[in-house]
Amino acid sequence: MAHVDVTNLTKTFGTFTALDDVTMDFPDGGFFALLGPSGSGKTTLLRTIAGFLFPDRGAVCIGGQPVSAVPVEKRDVGMMFQNYALFPNMTVADNIGFGLRVRRVGAAEERRRVGAALELVQLGDLGNRRPHQLSGGQRQRVALARAIVTNPRVLLLDEPLSALDKALRIDMQIELKRIQREIGITTIFVTHDQEEAMTLSDRIGILRAGRVVQSGPPRDVYNAPQDLFTAGFLGDANLLEGHADGTHLVLTDGTRIELPVRPGVFEAFAVRPESLTLSADRPRGAGINAIPAVLRQRIFAGAMATCIAERAGQSFKVVARDRDMPDLPENGEVWLSWDRDSTLTIPHAS
Residues that bind other proteins (CB under 8 A): 50, 52, 71-74, 76-79, 81, 83, 85-89, 98-99, 102-103, 146-147, 150
Rank residues 16 and 87 by Cβ distance to other proteins and give the closer one. 87
DSSP for 132-197, written as a single string: GGS-HHHHHHHHHHHHHTT--SEEEEESTTTTS-HHHHHHHHHHHHHHHHHHT-EEEEEES-HHHH
The answer to whether residues 309 and 294 touch, using CB atoms and an 8 Å cutoff, is yes
The answer to whether residues 22 and 42 touch, using CB atoms and an 8 Å cutoff, is no
Element (H, E) at 198: helix 194-200
CB of 63 to other proteins, least distance (A): 17
CB of 194 to other proteins, least distance (A): 25
CB of 60 to other proteins, least distance (A): 15
CB of 205 to other proteins, least distance (A): 22
Rank residues 77 and 161 by Cβ distance to other proteins and give the closer one. 77
Rank residues 78 and 127 by Cβ distance to other proteins and give the closer one. 78
Rank residues 90 and 288 by Cβ distance to other proteins and give the closer one. 90
Rank residues 50 and 290 by Cβ distance to other proteins and give the closer one. 50
- Number of Cβ within 10 Å of residue 343's Cβ equals 22
Rank residues 79 and 204 by Cβ distance to other proteins and give the closer one. 79
The answer to whether residues 325 and 305 touch, using CB atoms and an 8 Å cutoff, is yes
* Helix 107-120, helix 166-183: angle, nearest 10: 130
Handedness of CA 84, 46, 165, 176 (dihedral sign): positive
User: What is the edge-to-edge ordering of all strands in the sheet holding 288-301?
Assistant: 277-279, 333-339, 288-301, 304-311, 314-321
Rank residues 103 and 243 by Cβ distance to other proteins and give the closer one. 103
The answer to whether residues 291 and 335 touch, using CB atoms and an 8 Å cutoff, is yes
CB of 64 to other proteins, least distance (A): 21
CB of 89 to other proteins, least distance (A): 4
CB of 58 to other proteins, least distance (A): 21
